[in-house]
Amino acid sequence: MWTQQKSFAPHDTGTLYLVPTPIGNLADMTFRAVETLRSVDLIAAEDTRNTQKLLNHFEIATKQISFHEHNTQARIPELLAKLQAGASIAQVSDAGMPSISDPGKELVAAAVTAGIPVVPLPGANAATTALIASGLAPQPFMFYGFLPRKASEQRAALEALADQEQTILFYESPYRLAKTLTAMAEAFGPERQAVLARELTKKFEEFDRGSLAELATWAAENARGEFVVMVAPAAPQAPVRSTVPLADQVAARVATGEKPTAAIKAVAKANGLKKQDVYNAYHGLEEEDRDL
Ligand code: SAM
């Protein structure tokens, strides 16, 4: 069903604001984030005691309600009722962007379904902050977040990611970092380059760059603080040339009903050749395709 949200048009309900909070440096709180937390009727916080420290620092007197992974389902109807009655609510997590490896997505989905405007504020986020200083290709990139903890599930997840030709971003706790890097070295190869961004925005911020094998060894002794793990893209796979003549490969596809242009394109891609070369072979415009 097609729907449209005009975030700042007048509406009968309240608004759900998604407010990022600092990931270690209070100065990263934006003016708009402070203003929003001051002006809403209620703040739904992952940990109200943690958020109270932030509110005290910025002299914000707004009331809080707890909203975390263990009370999400129970809280959603209560928060939706308040929003429908016209109250505005800001959702915050302990650090960074709500919903990014943090509580929030179910509330957002419920608000969207109920036709309540959901307004995101830009702000601190560990993954993208790490990425822009990593020196790795910033796009395309994939944000994975936390890997499964169970070894067999983690291995399967990593194997499924091994051929991704994009930078992959993970979150990991310092207690599991060395083990996870070792598992990555097994799945991606020990020489795959990676970057660890440690304690971003804090006094001991650092970037550790090297192969997965080197970083796993380093992490076994030095994993303290918070980390973003960034893995360089897989090298593109060299296409394997088939021994079947190109014209026959195209003909086989055409025989299954594929259009010749599509078949030529597919065969060119599969063999790492230009379309024109396959076209010529298929239409007999060259003596033989053996030199291709
Ligand atoms: N919502 C947050 C965000 O937008 O980045 C992420 C919350 S997630 C529960 C916490 C994980 O984010 C940590 O285990 C770590 O991997 C990463 N992280 C958070 N703050 C960080 C920091 N200052 N430096 C490096 N990594 C950080």
pLDDT tens, residue by residue, 8-60: 999 999 999 999 999 999 999 999 999 999 999 999 999 999 999 999 999 99
**Which of 199, 197, 205 is closest to 229 using CA atoms?**
197
pLDDT tens digits, 217-270: 999 999 999 999 999 999 987 777 788 999 999 999 999 999 999 999 988 888
| 5 lies in some domain | no
Among 123, 139, 165, give the residue marking a domain's end.
Answer: 123
Range of the domain at 267: 246-291
pLDDT at 286: 63
State pLDDT tens for residues 150-188. Answer: 999 999 999 999 999 999 999 999 999 999 999 999 999
What is the predicted pLDDT for the residue at 108? 98
What distance in angstroms lies between residue 198's CA and the mean position of ligand 1's atoms?
Answer: 10
Q: Do residues 22 and 119 share a domain?
A: yes
> 266 in a domain, yes or no?
yes
- Please report the pLDDT score of residue 111 as a whole number: 98
Give the DSSP letter of residue 283. Answer: T
Is 21 in the same domain as 108?
Answer: yes
Ligand 1 mean position to 231 CA, how many Å? 16
* Mean predicted confidence (pLDDT) in 104-119: 98
Is residue 141 one of the residues assigned to a domain?
Answer: yes
Q: Tell how far the Cα of 174 is from the centroid of ligand 1, in angstroms.
A: 11
Question: Among residues of the chain, what percentage have pLDDT more than 70?
Answer: 98
Question: Hunting for tokens 């934006």 — which residue is that?
Answer: 30
Per-residue pLDDT, 236: 86
Q: CA 209, CA 214: separation in Å to the nearest integer?
A: 9
Please confirm whether the linkage preceding 140 is cis (ω < 30° from 0): yes
Q: Give me the pLDDT at residue 237, please.
A: 75
Q: Is residue 238 part of a domain?
A: no
Q: pLDDT over 90 for what percent of the chain? A: 89
- Collapsing DSSP to helix, strand or coil, 152 comes out as helix
Could you say which of 123, 146, 167 is where a domain stops? 123
In a shared domain, residues 145 and 78 = no
Asked if pLDDT for residue 292 goes beyond 60, the answer is: no
117 and 134 share one domain: no
Residues 168 and 134 in one domain: yes
Q: Is it the case that residue 287 has pLDDT exceeding 60?
A: no
pLDDT exceeds cutoff 80 at 204: yes
Atom of ligand 1 nearest to the CA of 99: 1
Band (pLDDT 50/70/90 cuts) for residue 104 is very high
192 to each of 85, 142, 164, how far by Cα in Å?
A: 54, 16, 12
Closest ligand 1 atom to residue 124 Cα is: 4
State the helix-helix crossing angle for 260-271 and 246-255, rounded to 10 degrees: 140
Q: Nearest CA to 25 among 115, 101, 129?
A: 129
Instruction: Tell whether 165 is covered by a domain.
Output: yes
What is the domain count for the chain?
3
pLDDT (0 to 100) of residue 285: 82
Q: What is the mean pLDDT of the chain?
A: 95
Atom of ligand 1 at shortest range from CA of 93? 1
Which residue lies with its CA nearest to atom 20 of ligand 1? 23
* In a domain? residue 9: no
Residue 290 has pLDDT above 60, yes or no: no
**Residue having the nearest C-alpha atom to atom 23 of ligand 1:** 200
Q: In what order do the strands lie in the sheet with 64-66?
A: 64-66, 42-45, 89-92, 16-18, 118-120
To test the pocket of ligand 1, the residue of 47, 91, 101 to mutate (highest count of ligand atoms within 8 Å of its CB) is: 101
Q: Does residue 32 sit in the same domain as residue 118?
A: yes
Q: Are residues 107 and 89 in the same domain?
A: yes
In a domain, 4, yes or no: no
Q: What does the pLDDT read at residue 3?
A: 96
- Which residue, of 62, 97, 123, is where some domain finishes? 123
Distance CA 155, CA 185 (A): 11
Structure tokens at 12: 């009968």
135: left (phi over 0), alpha (psi -120 to 50) or beta: left
* pLDDT above 80 (res 196): yes
- Would you say residue 241 lies in a domain? no
What are the pocket residues of ligand 1 if the criterion is a CB atom closer than 6 Å to any ligand atom? 23-24, 93, 95-97, 100-102, 125-127, 171-173, 197, 199-202, 226-228
